[in-house]
Structure 1
C-alpha cells in the first residue's frame, strides 16, 4: 500500500511541476505583467495588435497562455483582417518555455495595398469594395442570423469557421 501511495504522490507533484508559466498583462497596454500557470495550454504568446475603426487606431498588447490551435509552433506570426470600416494587424510570437513571453513586440508594420478587392457590408448592402493589404489573399462570407443579414469581409492567415465561405 505504501509504494502505491508514494508513487501517486510523486506523480502528482511531478505533473504539476511541469505546467508552463507565462506572463500575462494586467491592462491593454501591458504596463504591468504577472506570471500565470497555464492549465492545458502548451505555448506562451505575446502579441501587438493595431486595431483601426473609423480611422482611429487603438493599440493593444496581449500576453498569456495559448492553445496549440492558436500557436502551432514556436516563432513569429502575422495576422491581419480588414472588414471595411474596421481592420486589425497583429504581430505575435509563440514560445514554449517558462516566462518566455516577457518581451513586448514592436507594433506590426501597416501592410501596403495589393490587387485583391473584397466586398464589405454597409447598412445591410454587401457591395462596398475593400482593398486588401499585404498578404491578405482571401475573401470570406459569413452570416449573422441575429442581425438577419450577410456580412462579407476579407481575411488572411485566420482560420475560417465552418459557416464561412470563400468568395471570388
Structure 2
C-alpha cells in the first residue's frame, strides 16, 4: 500500500513550471525581431544579452539578443586577443516575459595582474595584460578562407566552460584550449571541439 501511494504521488506531481521569455535573434541588417519562447528548464532565467566587439581604433560593434539563460551566463565575460576584444554582458530576471530591457554596456575594465601570450601576425610571443575577469589564457585555431590562423590571448573562465550558450547568437566553431596560469598558452594548441566567440576577428555567424 505504501509503495502504491508513493508511485501515485510521483505520477501526480505537477510538472515544474518554466519561464516564458522574449526571444530575439538579430538579423543581418542589425534589426531584432522579438518573439516568445518557453524555457526548457526550471533552472533557466529570462535574459537580454549584448555582445560588444572592439577592433583596433574603430568604434565598437554591438549585437543584442534575448532568450532563456542559465545562471552561469548571467555575468559579464570577455575574450581578448590584444588587437581585438569581445565583451558579453547580460541582464537576467526571474518572471515571465521580464527581459524587456536591453543588457547594459560593458563596464570599464582594468588590468587584473594576469598575463597571457598573444599573437602579432605569425609572431606569438607578445605578452598581453588580461582585464576584468579574464582569468584564463586561450589558444585558438580558426579557418579563414581555407587558411588556418592561430590566435592567443585572455579569456573569462565562463566562455571556456560554457560550450552551449543559449544567449550568444554569434558563435564560431574553432579548435581551442584554455589554461590557467600566467603565459600558460605559450605552447601550441591542438585541443578541438569547443565553441568560441570570435566576433571581432571573423564575420559574425548568426544562428
**Deviation for aligned residue 1:33:** 2.3
Tell me, yes or no, if the aligned pair for 1:43 and 1:96 is still in contact at 8 Å.
Answer: yes
Structure-to-structure mapping, 1:16-35, within 5 angstroms: 18-27=17-26, 32-35=33-36
**Deviation for aligned residue 1:120:** 1.1
TM-score (structure 2 length as normaliser): 0.57
Tell me, yes or no, if the aligned pair for 2:118 and 2:124 is still in contact at 8 Å.
Answer: yes
Tell me, yes or no, if the aligned pair for 2:90 and 2:104 is still in contact at 8 Å.
Answer: no
Cα 1:138–1:26 change in 2 (3 A) is closer
Structure-to-structure mapping, 1:80-99, within 5 angstroms: 80-99=78-97
Cα 1:96–1:167 change in 2 (3 A) is same
Match of 1:3 in 2: none
**Deviation for aligned residue 1:129:** 2.6
- State the SS of the aligned residue for 1:129: strand
CA distance in 2, matches of 1:30, 1:144: 28
Moved more, 30-39 or 79-88: 30-39
Match of 1:166 in 2: 180
Cα 1:147–1:25 change in 2 (3 A) is same
Cα 1:30–1:65 change in 2 (3 A) is farther
CA distance in 1, matches of 2:78, 2:123: 23
Match of 1:155 in 2: 155
Cα 1:72–1:154 change in 2 (3 A) is closer
Tell me, yes or no, if the aligned pair for 2:66 and 2:99 is still in contact at 8 Å.
Answer: yes
* Structure 2 gap ranges (5+): 1-11, 162-175, 183-207
Aligned length: 152
Match of 2:65 in 1: 62
Match of 2:51 in 1: 49
Q: Cα RMSD over matched residues? A: 3.5
Structure-to-structure mapping, 1:58-137, within 5 angstroms: 58-66=61-69, 68=70, 71-72=71-72, 77-137=75-135
Match of 1:5 in 2: none
* Structure 1 gap ranges (5+): 1-10
Structure number having the greater strand percentage: 1
Tell me, yes or no, if the aligned pair for 2:136 and 2:179 is still in contact at 8 Å.
Answer: no
TM-score (structure 1 length as normaliser): 0.68
| CA offsets 1:2-27 (integer angstroms, 9 cap, x no match) | xxxxxxxxx8xx75x93421112253
